[in-house]
Structures are given as C-alpha cells and as structure tokens.
Structure 1
Amino acid sequence: MVPTPAGKRPAGPFTPLDFQLVLLRRMADHNPGRVEDARRELGASPADMREANRRWQAMLRSPRSRSAASRYRSVLGEPESSVPRRIGDLECEARQWRLPLWPDLRFEVLVADRGVVWNEWLVRAPGAAGPDLRTLDDLTPWSCTVDETARAFAPARPLQGSAPTLWGLAFTAPDARGRRHEAVAEFAWGLLQRTAVGDR
C-alpha cells in the first residue's frame, strides 16, 4: 500500500467539509485572517483547501457533470428545507442547507424549472436574529448578507461581480456621526466581505 503524503487526505466523496473549504477559498482574497481561523476550526490544512477547490472546479467543468441542483444534493445531502418561492415572474424552489461554520446562516439554492439553478448563496437562517444595520460601522466582514444590506440601506444598486459567486451593492449610508457617504459593499457567496467608502 502506497502511503498517503503528509498533510494530504486520500480522495473520497466530496463532503460538506470540502464544500465549506470551497466557500472559504473564494473569501480568502478579502479576509485571509478570518478564513485562516475558520479553516483551522474545520481542522483542515491549506493543502486540503486547495485540493477541495481543485476538485470542485473539476466537477464544474467535467463534460459528464451532473446538474448544479443534483450536485448540491449529492454533496450536501437532503436540504434542511425546501419551499416554493416566487421572485417577480420566476417561480422556483428555495432549498436550504445548514453549514457548521455559519450556524445562523443557511446555504440557499434557488432551483427553477427543469432543475436550473438560478442563485446560490448564504442567507440568514429562518428564525435567526439578523444584524442591526444602521451605519457604515455596522458593516463588518461576515456580519450580514446581500439581502440584509440591501434592505437596511435601500435603495441599493446591484453591481456586477468579477466571478459568478461575487456580488456588489452600491448605496448611501451614514457613518456613526451621521455624515452620509457613498459606499460599495462586496460579497462572496452572499456574505459581506468588505465595504469601500467615499465622501458625498
């Protein structure tokens, strides 16, 4: 039997742990220190994170890849909840999964007709108290989701992200002294990563 190289887990099923590492990998460019702490909390090494991301990308690009909706069910298991939802003219099914790293959030996938995934991101868990967002100082990394920020500082204008799992919002909000600023919030997988502030 060939020994497994140190620090590298043998290949096996892609698990919820691996998926959390994929989410963290996208967030690492924004908050490397926070991601490092989360990775250690999961008991994973940097090599584990790189390997999880490599395998996830390979699944996405495989010509024999299953549908996105089937892929999430295969990786995360049966959803904790699955309810119909209507967004404008779009009728879809909102499927949510619990992830240990973010107990007050759920990973939500919106599945439209024929199993097409319309959106995939982190949202506040049903019944969980959301943040009290009043000023720019309240917008700390990982504190809130896209929809929570958009509601708190309406009207917010969505911005195109540099990757499918990145979003942005442009809005005006006060600082702690009441002075209003133009701001842009950046999100990865629906979770706030950083906020850039300018003067108005």
Structure 2
Amino acid sequence: MAFRVREFELALMHRMQDLNAGKVEEALHGMSASRAELRAAHAHWTRLAHAPRAPKGAAALRMALGAPPYRGSRPAGSLTCDVLRWPLPSWPGLAFEALLGPGGEVWNQWFVRPEGPMTVAFTDLTPWACVVGDLGASFPGAVQIEGPAPHHWTVDFPHDGRTYRARFVYGLIQRLE
C-alpha cells in the first residue's frame, strides 16, 4: 500500500477515534473507507515511523502529502522555526501544519487555520469545527493543558461563569466537556 494523502488522513482519524468515534465513522462513510482500511493506514504509518530506512519527520510528511504548498517561518523564543502546511480534503478551510526546529526535526504537528485563528461562539465548538488557536482567540483565559496521549491537547476555558474543557487531537476539537 502506498502511503499518500488518503492514508495519512486515515492515520490521523485513527488517533481521533480515541475521543470521537462517531465523527470518525461519519468521515469513513463519506470517504467510502472501512475500519479495516483505517487500522491498516495507522499500522502502516506506525511501521514507517519505526523503520530504520523510512523517511522521518518532515521527510515522512512530504512522502505522504507531497511538497508543502506553504513554507514560512515563525519565531519561537530566540529561535526561528520553519513552518510547513498542507491542505487536506477531509478538513476544508484548515491546514495540517508542521513546526520544524532548527535541526529540521518536527517539534509540533497539528491543524491550524491558514489565515490565523478565527473568533468562534460557544455554540460553534462542535467536533472538527475549530482548532486550538480559535479557542484562545475566542475565550480570554483559555489555558492549554498537556493531553493524556500523544497528539492530544486539552484546553480549559471560562464561559458564562463556568469552566469548560475542550479536547483536541492534532489541534482539532473532538469534544467539549
């Protein structure tokens, strides 16, 4: 099996399934993909990550997604990091972003809005509708907390006198608690 955009999306969805199996099932149906294909894509990506001769980091992303349509830079403290972004068909209006450290290693990878965070209403906090940056731009006092698994983020934020917790996978909202 070649590992391209479709397989990459399925590998991302495998992790998202941890928090939102229903949304992943909907997406699989829309892609005409099976759960077996989802599992196979995840297993393939995992094998590539551990294979000694397989591309790593940004090279692995380029292998799956092609050349990034966007390349830029971003300051991170006293360092300047490279930023690579790819649009993915299953998440229109968003881009999958890789932040590369000075040695080219991937420091972070998640979904962002290419034009920057968007202000969203509380009612807009539905699965796959916003990214971590949107919550920070929309709810002053939002605090990011380490997630319970790789590529998971948690953001606590106040709204109408209560504190809510949003759970994200690859920076994309999965559920609100």
Aligned residue among 6, 23, 27 for 2:12? 23
Using CA pairs under 8 Å that are at least 6 residues apart, name the structure with larger relative contact order, 1 or 2.
2
Task: Give the aligned partner of residue 149 of structure 2.
Answer: 163
Q: Conserved in 1, the CA contact under 8 Å of 2:10 and 2:41?
A: yes
Alpha-carbon RMSD across the aligned residues, in angstroms, is 1.7
CA positional deviation for 1:195: 1.3
| Gaps in structure 1 of 5+ consecutive residues | 1-10, 175-179
CA distance in structure 2 between the aligned counterparts of 1:30 and 1:162, rounded to whole angstroms: 11
Q: Conserved in 1, the CA contact under 8 Å of 2:49 and 2:56?
A: no
CA distance in structure 2 between the aligned counterparts of 1:15 and 1:192, rounded to whole angstroms: 24
Q: SS at 1:114's partner residue?
A: coil
Q: SS at 1:115's partner residue?
A: coil
Task: Give the aligned partner of residue 46 of structure 1.
Answer: 35
1:157-200 Cα distance to aligned partner (Å, 9 max, x none): 211112221001112112xxxxx11111110010001111xxxx
CA distance in structure 2 between the aligned counterparts of 1:106 and 1:133, rounded to whole angstroms: 18
Task: Give the aligned partner of residue 105 of structure 2.
Answer: 116
1:89-131 Cα distance to aligned partner (Å, 9 max, x none): 231111000100111000000112121111100111338x94x
CA distance in structure 1 between the aligned counterparts of 2:132 and 2:98, rounded to whole angstroms: 14
> Relative to structure 1, is the Cα distance of residues 134 and 40 closer, same or farther in structure 2, using a 3 angstrom cutoff?
closer
Question: What TM-score comes out, normalization by structure 2 length?
Answer: 0.92
CA distance in structure 2 between the aligned counterparts of 1:157 and 1:98, rounded to whole angstroms: 27
Aligned residue among 189, 192, 195 for 2:170? 189
Task: Give the aligned partner of residue 133 of structure 1.
Answer: 120
1:125-153 Cα distance to aligned partner (Å, 9 max, x none): 338x94x4233x33111111001101211
Q: Conserved in 2, the CA contact under 8 Å of 1:39 and 1:45?
A: yes
Question: What TM-score comes out, normalization by structure 1 length?
Answer: 0.82
**If you compute each CA radius of gyration, which structure gives the higher value, 1 or 2?**
1
Q: SS at 2:103's partner residue?
A: helix
| Gaps in structure 2 of 5+ consecutive residues | none
